[in-house]
Structure 1
Amino acid sequence: MEVEQKYNILLDPLPEEWKGYPIDSDFQTGILIQMALSDRELSPEEQIYSSIDLLFPETQPPVEEALDAIIWFLYGWYTDNLQKAKEDKTTVTDWQVDQWRIWVAFKHQYRIDLNQEKVHFWAFMALLSNLEECSYTRVADIRGKKLTGKMSVEERAAYIRAKAIYALDSKPQAAEYTDEEKQKIDAFDERKRKAAAKKKALEAFQELTGE
């Protein structure tokens, strides 16, 4: 379903209702709806009705209209090509796994304590998607990074290791290497190990000599 791009933050107040039905516009509501819709322990019906209850805590529209409202609430803020964005199935954010990275980023860059302040979901998503480089954006970039043949063996190996660390799937896909690539990776790891050992020895020497 296409989301009509009619809203403009430069011209319009942030919405607090949908077609006359009051909504809970808080960012936590948006997060909880996304978590409900991706919860594999819930049936599709439970996912839908949980989301409706979250968005409309008071009077609720008919179910079919409420489904349109949920899509509008989740994506109405997005102004780029939504269809193209949906084609990329890579998940780069997990609200549970990334909670501290996101909280720290908002506290540091926007002076917003997400544990204390109310923020409209659309404003939250806009701020989240425009964060300057931080631990959250770096991790998200690693998860979304496409491995290409143009990468060096060392760069590819580094990304694969990082992807394994920050993977959101329980079983990250194992990388396949040729024997030559494995030898180069082993040699690269050995150089890193020797460099670390040399640095440690130098630090110990400097501590003993007082230099």
Structure 2
Amino acid sequence: MRNILIDELPRSIRIKGKEYAINWGFRTAILYEMMMLDNEVGPDEKPLLALNLFYPVIPDDWQEALEGIQWFYRCGEEERTGKKKA
């Protein structure tokens, strides 16, 4: 398992065939974590704030861009489902 604080991170994300730069510094990840845990920030505000935090240029496909943030936050690894393969 990779660690966002010590492992090399992706510097960009491909969305709809186009490469988008991503703010990859650990400070961005810490701000993201703080924002997600902040009860004073409404759930409707968090997606747009996350997009502004991570993307210098926000992709048109916001849903895929938000999924890209989660992919980045997992250090480029696939999401684990908790199920073990036989």
TM-score range, shorter chain: 0.5 to 0.7
Q: Aligned with 1:41: secondary structure?
A: coil
Q: Aligned with 1:21: secondary structure?
A: strand
Alignment match, 1:82 = 80
After TM superposition, the structure 1 = structure 2 runs for residues 2-151 of structure 1, keeping only pairs within 5 Å, are 14-19=9-14, 20-77=19-76, 82-84=80-82
What stretches of structure 2 of length at least 5 have no aligned partner? 1-7
Larger helix share, 1 or 2: 1
Q: What is the rounded CA distance, in whole Å, between the counterparts of 2:52 and 2:12 in structure 1?
A: 14
Task: Give the superposition deviation at 1:30.
Answer: 0.9
Q: What is the rounded CA distance, in whole Å, between the counterparts of 1:75 and 1:16 in structure 2?
A: 13
Q: 1:53–1:40: structure 2 CA closer, same or farther, 3 Å change rule?
A: same
Q: What is the rounded CA distance, in whole Å, between the counterparts of 2:46 and 2:52 in structure 1?
A: 10
Larger strand share, 1 or 2: 2
- In the superposition, the TM-score normalised over structure 2's length comes to 0.68
Aligned residues: 73
- In the superposition, the TM-score normalised over structure 1's length comes to 0.30
How large is the RMSD of aligned CA atoms in angstroms? Answer: 2.8
Whose Rg is larger? 1
Task: Give the superposition deviation at 1:77.
Answer: 4.8
- Asked if structure 1 preserves the Cα contact closer than 8 Å seen for 2:11 and 2:23, the reply is yes
Q: What is the rounded CA distance, in whole Å, between the counterparts of 1:53 and 1:34 in structure 2?
A: 14
Q: 1:78–1:17: structure 2 CA closer, same or farther, 3 Å change rule?
A: closer
Identity of aligned residues (%): 30
Q: 1:82–1:18: structure 2 CA closer, same or farther, 3 Å change rule?
A: same
